[in-house]
Structure 1
Amino acid sequence: MALLFVAAVYFARVPTEQDLTDRAEALLINIGESWAHASFEGRDAKLEGEALSEEARVKVRGELAALSGVRSIEDRTTLLPERRPFTFSVVRDGSKLHLSGYVPSRWARKRIVEAAAQMAPGVVVTGDKELTRARGVPAGDFAGVVLFGIQQLAKMPSGRVTIADNSFSIEGRAPDFASYDALEVTVRSELPTDFDLARFAVLPPAVAPFVWSAEREQDGVKLSGYIPLGDARRALLDLVRSAVPGAAISDQLRLADGSPPTQGWLKAVAFALDQLGRLPDGKVALSGTTIAIEGTAPDFASYDALAGARRNLPEGYTLTRFAVEPPTVSPFIWGVLNGASGLRLTGFAPSENAKKLALDAVRAGFPGLPVSDEMRIAAGGPPAEAWASATAFGIAQLARLRAGSVRGLATTLTISGEAVDSAAYAAVSAALSSSVPKGFALQSDVRPPVVAPYVFGMRKEGEGVTLSGFYPTVQAHEQIIEAVKRYLPGYTVNDVSALAQGAPDGFEAAARLALRELSRLDTGEVRFDDRKLRLTGTAFHAAAVAAIGEGLKQELPAGFSVDLGLDVLPRRETLEREACRMAVATLLERGRIVFTEGGARLDPVSYGLLDRVASVAAGCPDVAIEISVAHADIDPDQAAARARTVIDYLAEAGIAPERLWVGPFGTVAAQSTNRSGSDGGILLIVR
């Protein structure tokens, strides 16, 4: 009976205990206290577990005592250790995710670990087994805020979420601006209730180059590009208000990492904004450690300040673009003036570089000469390259002038002054006639050099004439050359004379007169020294010496003096008749006997020819010379008068009259040449 009683009790007890255990487990889950566990011996419960609070223990005991079939409860529960602050952290490093900290329950831990494992494909979760249950969890859905943090970490390749009591912090670096914007909006607006955002330290993407710009608009300033992390934005806005007071600010800046050191960056921004304040339509920009400035200066004071600021850049920064247009001027004028005190640059240049090229040309052309730079930069002129080229051309010519100027007006270049010497004058004249700068019109008032004393010489020797010294004008030079050809036909001209100012009045007439008398000499030289004329050489006969002296004294312009140093050519050796005839024929081939228009008076151009004929005749004492007129258009009386004039000239030159006679009108001799009506067809026939 005893054995049967024990067996009955045993087999009846086991089902009862199982039933009570199952119903107690379901109760604890339903009331949200799954941390507690109940076991039974018969109908007596043994309650175990770690409670989050004393209130939870009381709640569990009360609910379990009310469970049907429970007779007594042995409370073996304990309180979890309390943690202040109650912390939890999730750290992501690529595909690795590490969990650490406290959880309020196994259920919360399970929920967190499952979310972590599903955060990203292939993620490896560590630290899940070390998570510790503890009391002190803040109010609200603690597991939910941890899951929210894990979801944000999924948007970054690396980062950290930290929860301390009800404070939420997140840090890391966004892979791009879209992710950064999404993170910031989500974290600031969707953080679970009962939790506060303590720190949002997600870094925006690092950019390179780190660019920033400020641009003037109609009523304000537009800011674009990136701004460093921290409090740079507030400082930047203060700088804008200071540089452009009252301007509306359009802030389109993005936070970005990768900027130069913030303090240095803000100094560079302050420098750029100071320049922007001087440019009503300007724009300034930074790219890394480089600065760019562009716009149009409203006046010269602003432009000078902007140009000067380039020499005071913030430390560590360089100015890579300065595209500030200077004020526009009209008319656009400039000049380079060479005076007693040195060089002066005045007016306007189209750019700093063009002005520098002009200064380089000045220093090259005038080494060591003081230079006063009064030239300003302005718009409204020729293209900078063309301006620089034209100005350099003008300066190159100015370097050949003793004093002068190069002046520009729009696209007209005027060069004026006195040449240093004749060679310089020739070089300037050649350049002005053949090297006109492209796009420019040239005006010239370049004058030959002034020389004193004014010297000019003509030397006749052999079959040539050498011209030396100076002549006053191109026209005068041409007239002298023409006179040489007329008085000395067939002679070679060696011209080493040069153009120069300073000739005395009447110089041209005196030079032509001196050349006429020089043509009557076998050899000789004319030398002018201002108004002093010296004629030296050898005449063909004594009468020529007297005639030359008398002619010069009577015909030289007023104020000129003459000094003669003439000899007479010694008598030649006696020539045979044939030799004499050949000599005369040769002279007549080279020159003509010319009379004044419509008369019987000899043209002075014939003096030299007849003097040579007289010299030849003097060496042929046994021959006679017949003077004949062979031109049918000449009146017989006029022809006879012209022949008599030649006879009288030769007789005065020392040829005995009995050796000279007039031949019959119309005679034609072998010595005749092509004749014009001006010479009357005079023939000299040696008999």
Structure 2
Amino acid sequence: MRSIGWLAGLPLLAGAWVAATIAAEPRLESALEVPAGAIASGTGRDGAEPWLRVEARGRDLVASGEAPMQAALDDARAALAAVPGHRRILDRLGLVAEISPFTWAVVHRAPDRLDLIGHRPAEIGRAALADSLGAGLPAGLSLRDAARAARGAPDNFSEGARFLLAQVQHLKPGATAAMRDRTLSVHGEAASVEAYAGLKADLARPPAGFTVGEVGVEPALVSPFTWSASRGPDGIRLDGYTVSEADRAAILAAARLLADGVPVTDTMRTARGLPAGIDARALTDRAFAALALVREGSVSLDGAVLSIRGAAIDGQAVREAESLAGALPAGVSRGTVALTASRVSPYLVTVRRGPDAFTLTGHLPDAEARAAIRATLRPFLYGERIVDRTRLAEGAPPALLDGLTAGIGILAQLAEGEVTVRDQSLRVAGEGLYPESARRIAAEAARIAPPGWRIDVAVEARGATPLRDPAACRETFAALAAEPTLRFDPGSADLKAAFYPVLDEVAGLARACPQARIEVAGHDDPPGTAPPPAPKEAPAPTKAKPAAKPGKQAEKPVPKPADTPAIPDPGLPQRRAAAIVDYLLKAGIPADRIAAAPAEAAADRRAVAFALRS
């Protein structure tokens, strides 16, 4: 009966336990949710949204979410494990996905809005990134961040993102600035000419650790499209627009070629707007061909109209500019051609004779003068050709043709040279075939110049060595007198290879100092110096001597006398000096200008020396 009563009480006991559990469960869950919720909220530091979500189910905790990095995941698990009163943790946690390559971009979606797409670093919260990037935006321009959190972002992501955000503001809506790992790229259309220049300057200085990849940015469109090249005393100045960086380089190259060393100032800006159908390179070639005719002035383009203004280099240039303006590239029309010509001063003409041609440069007064000069040259042509680069201009001095004719007569006697007229000055310079012809030309030149002209003749024999003044000759030979490298081997009068450079220099100086007579002093050997031993000859084969008879002593070798001291050779310095004199005679020094010094000059001398005797 007792057992039956105990069994009858079990349902009552179970019901009491269930009732107690149901009543206590809300209190247990509340006790777990408070510390677990604090842990979850703590995962939202630095502006990021909390990534951890925790739910209490009785005494169990259900944890879910994606941690931005492994350390954050480990910290969250450890904190949940330390919550008092929990029975177990249902772990549904993971890591944010790692993306490679890591991509992010900003799109200029509308005039007042920039969209962020791709992936953002998981460790940077959406709100924190928006605050960082939006801090410098102009009023009225907003950000919309649609990027997803991911791992794998490059270091200094924020610097690269801010850089791209700044570049996309130089562009019109529809443009994109993107990051692919550490490579930055920009595509779109510049908002203005100034914006394009700013973009190009910025892209040349990317943030540290990043490189600039593809840049597909169109310059801004301008109307009218203008360009000009001006020439003046300070050089050449380039203004207006150019269609591309390649076109700018071509224009600069043409300007520097024409400038020939004078400054070129470039203030051009890149833009679109050159009328369709115009070849930019052909336009550049024609523009600088026109500028070459201008001494001071400009060549300018306004839309499709090319104009030439200023002072021409000479009268011929005025006619050439008119002709050039009538043959412009397709699509370009003639504008104003207003060139004035003044008298050329100084008036220069040059006739140069080279190996295979006579070349004429400078100015002549008219076509008749040009024909007369060519006729004057014709009798002196022996297979040579005439290269005529002269131009026609006013300002020729009186008797120009007489002066040139006289100069050409001298030029015909030269192997190479030139005749130059500068106003009423005539200069003839060059090389004659023989010394006699050079002297004769110099003597007769004063008689051939027109009345009132000055003449200067600088004609030398071909291959002649420039002469030095006596003072320079003495200084040079004084240096050679102390030359330490000319020292013969003991007992020898043979020249060594080290002597030849010095001796060749002496020969050259002798040709440049025709008034000087050179003496060569040999040298003796220091006391006690023995001459080098003569090479030993191989000993002749000898027959073997029979062995000594038993009981007979072998013969002892007779000792040789000791070596005797070397006897000085009194004629050695003279032989050495004679060897050097012989070399210099063969090098072209006349016999009356080179000799060996007296014997006493070698006393106590230990190296060869040279002396100058005028």
Q: TM-score range by the shorter chain?
A: 0.3 to 0.5
TM-score by length of 1: 0.41
